Amino acid sequence: MKEYWSSLASLLGVLAFCQTLLQAIFPPELRFAAVKLFNQLFRCFSSYVYFDITEIDGVNTNELYNAVQLYLSSSVSISGNRLSLTRALNSSAITFGLSNNDCILDSFNGVTVQWEHIVTQRQAQGYLWRPLPEEKRGFTLRIKKKDKPLILDSYLDFVMDKAEEIRRKNQERLLYTNSRGGSLDSRGHPWESVPFKHPSTFDTLAMDPLKKQQIMEDLRDFANGQRFYQQTGRAWKRGYLLYGPPGTGKSSMIAAMANFLGYDIYDLELTEVHNNSELRKLLMKTTSKSIIVIEDIDCSINLTDRKKKSPVSGMRSYYDLPDFRCGGGNGGGYGSISGDDGGGNSITLSGLLNFTDGLWSCCGSERIFVFTTNHIEKLDSALLRSGRMDMHIFMSYCSFSALKILLKNYLNYEEDDLDSIVLNEIKDVIDKAKMTPADVSELLIKNRRCKNRAVTELLETLKSKAEKNEKNSGELRKKEMGLEEEEEQEKRTLDSPKEGSEFEEEEEDCRKETEEEEDDDHEKNNNFIQ
């Protein structure tokens, strides 16, 4: 055993002597050239090719490095032997990552690649005005030479797309609103944001399941339709109009759309926008993958159909005027007339149309415009056409299918859990009651601790509402019939010329008799005076 260690020590001493001799005989430049030549010979005979992706490219952050880091934080990296756990700012999930100098294998279209995370100490600071990190980080991608075209053409794009998807999924969604009076925040942005945590989803939305499925398919086709929109030459945007009575779930629908797609929401308050120019600037400051919302648009500015004319012939209608003031002194937020040179805050209908479907609407991609209104008949037809509002969604009163969803959400009741008699009674009166999902939800929330009482009170309320609506509709029919009878009577009076002419002749005779009597009295008086 001692002889073995003695031989090993002698061998190490010889190697050290040879290394010292080589360093003394061969200069550093020659040694560097020899190593470089050896590496080139090795690469020529090697079947692999290597790509280095550094964290910092010069002084700028390499987006590809961040994308690879996010991509490897998905299920791919779970198979690694040593992982690092991170949670980014504004992130809602913990992500995995490769530890320092660790390797992992990945496959794409049947091709196996190897990722290695290289971390080394930085020798010197290259830029004193911007200190660089002490550690130099990067990824090394090893692939076979024959697979090089496939990896460069498709795999890296796949990594970028997957990383963006993970970033959107983990990042906390935000709800934006435009600053009061168009003011800017500390970063120069006209939008203020808060975390968006609305729990509404399409599963909890009280709506006809078939209609919900159609909306979800349309949203899914839009989100995956980048190539389609490019081929057809259309801007990658879509418009939805939600209309119906108050309390039918229009705001909940918007929240469900945002949660379904993972988009941010920009709630635009038109009464805080000064003019069309500011409206365009707000649009430019919105990001892709977002939903731009204008709620109760008929109450923000006046958008009544321009084709309606004034009852007085030759006069311009109120809605034919070119400008509509926002936030004027007329109360209620309704538009008021604005002069051509009036210096006040004004948004024109043309500006809003260009906002939704003009050239400025194409300054971003993958954006959805959602308008809500309680009175669709008040909106201008130009705003409702396809290309601006592509899909009109009527948010109706609570139907039987929507009621079953509410019973499941609030009482955890399935259709089979209810008595068939009670279920049939509810089914008979639900359409006649015309109750909104908000009203039904309030009844169920109030009695959620006692499920039987909740169902009983709901049925009684539905019956009471149905009877009241039938009574009101009957009185309305009577009034309509009475008005029709009066109109018919007036029409008959106008259509009887003989009766009218006799009446006029009698009046003419009475007038003549009165005039003759006045003339006789006048002559008598003259004779008396004489």
Q: Do 294 and 186 belong together in one domain?
A: yes
Q: How far is CA 97 from CA 86, 321, 521, in A?
A: 8, 61, 120
pLDDT at 341 over 60: no
- The Cβ-side half-sphere exposure at 339, using a 13 Å CA radius, reads 3
Q: What's the rounded mean pLDDT across residues 445-454?
A: 89
Q: What is the pLDDT of residues 394-420, one digit of tens each?
A: 999 999 999 999 999 998 888 788 888
Q: Which residue has the higher pLDDT, 260 or 105?
A: 260
Q: Which of 340, 375, 394 is the last residue of a domain?
A: 394
pLDDT at 312 over 50: no
Q: Do 165 and 179 belong together in one domain?
A: no
Q: What is the pLDDT of residues 464-514, one digit of tens each?
A: 999 988 888 777 776 767 666 666 766 666 665 544 444 455 555 656 666
- The Cβ-side half-sphere exposure at 278, using a 13 Å CA radius, reads 22
Q: Do 375 and 453 belong together in one domain?
A: no
Q: Which of 333, 366, 394 is the last residue of a domain?
A: 394
Q: Which of 331, 365, 394 is the last residue of a domain?
A: 394
Q: Which residues contact 511 (CB under 8 A, 6 or more apart)?
A: none
pLDDT at 221 over 90: yes
Q: Do 358 and 386 belong together in one domain?
A: yes
Share of the chain above pLDDT 90, in %: 23
Q: What is the pLDDT of residues 33-62, one digit of tens each?
A: 777 777 666 666 677 888 888 887 666 677
pLDDT at 244: 93
CB atoms under 10 Å from CB of 344, counted, come to: 14
Q: Which residues contact 495 (CB under 8 A, 6 or more apart)?
A: none
Q: What is the pLDDT of residues 253-296, one digit of tens each?
A: 999 999 999 899 999 988 888 888 888 888 888 888 899 999 98
Q: Do 183 and 162 belong together in one domain?
A: no
pLDDT at 332: 38
pLDDT at 129 over 60: no
pLDDT at 309: 45
Identify the band that residue 142 occupies on the pLDDT scale cut at 50, 70 and 90. Answer: confident
Q: Do 471 and 361 belong together in one domain?
A: no
Whether residue 85 is contained in a domain is answered as yes
Q: Which residue has the higher pLDDT, 421 or 99?
A: 421
Write the DSSP string, 117-170.
EEEEE--S-S-TTSPPPSEEEEEEEEEEGGGHHHIIIIIHHHHHHHHHHHHHHH
pLDDT at 222 over 90: yes
Helix (H) or strand (E) holding 255: helix 250-261
Q: Do 71 and 151 belong together in one domain?
A: yes
Query: For residues 249 and 253, what is the distance between their CA atoms, to the nearest angstrom?
Result: 6
pLDDT at 530 over 50: no
CB atoms under 10 Å from CB of 232, counted, come to: 8
Whether residue 212 is contained in a domain is answered as yes
Q: Do 143 and 183 belong together in one domain?
A: no
Query: For residues 178 and 183, what is the distance between their CA atoms, to the nearest angstrom?
Result: 9
pLDDT at 510: 55
pLDDT at 326 over 60: no
Q: Do 372 and 443 belong together in one domain?
A: no
pLDDT at 79 over 70: no
For residue 352, give the CATH number of its domain.
3.40.50.300
Mean pLDDT over the full length of the chain: 77
pLDDT at 166: 78
pLDDT at 307: 53
Sheet holding 135-144, edge to edge: 48-54, 135-144, 111-121, 103-108
Q: Which residue has the higher pLDDT, 328 or 130?
A: 130
Whether residue 383 is contained in a domain is answered as yes
Q: Do 160 and 183 belong together in one domain?
A: no
pLDDT at 336: 37
Identify the band that residue 327 occupies on the pLDDT scale cut at 50, 70 and 90. Answer: very low
Whether residue 242 is contained in a domain is answered as yes
Q: Do 58 and 151 belong together in one domain?
A: yes
Query: For residues 358 and 347, what is the distance between their CA atoms, to the nearest angstrom?
Result: 15
Q: Which of 209-218, 302-311, 415-424, 449-458 has the lowest mean pLDDT?
A: 302-311
pLDDT at 253: 95
Q: Which of 153-167, 175-189, 191-205, 304-318 has the lowest mean pLDDT?
A: 304-318
pLDDT at 249: 93
Identify the band that residue 329 occupies on the pLDDT scale cut at 50, 70 and 90. Answer: very low
Helix (H) or strand (E) holding 458: helix 451-494
Q: Do 444 and 374 belong together in one domain?
A: no
pLDDT at 80: 56
Residues of the domain holding 218: 175-305+348-394
Chain-centre distance of CA 489, in angstroms? 56
Q: What's the rounded mean pLDDT across residues 53-73?
A: 78
Q: Which of 31-35, 72-76, 321-325, 446-450 has the lowest mean pLDDT?
A: 321-325
Count of the separate structural domains present in the chain:
3
Q: Closest by alpha carbon to 238, among 394, 365, 382?
A: 365
Question: What's the N-to-C CA distance of the chain in angstroms?
Answer: 176
Query: For residues 515 and 508, what is the distance between their CA atoms, to the nearest angstrom?
Result: 11
Whether residue 6 is contained in a domain is answered as no
Whether residue 492 is contained in a domain is answered as no
Q: What's the rounded mean pLDDT across residues 381-393?
A: 88
pLDDT at 133: 61
Whether residue 311 is contained in a domain is answered as no
pLDDT at 314 over 50: no
Identify the band that residue 75 occupies on the pLDDT scale cut at 50, 70 and 90. Answer: low
Burial degree of 227 (CB within 10 A; 0-12, 13-18, 19+): exposed
pLDDT at 319 over 70: no
With beta carbons less than 8 A apart as the criterion, state whether 294 and 270 touch.
yes
pLDDT at 504: 54
pLDDT at 462: 92
Q: Which residue has the higher pLDDT, 460 or 63?
A: 460
Whether residue 16 is contained in a domain is answered as no
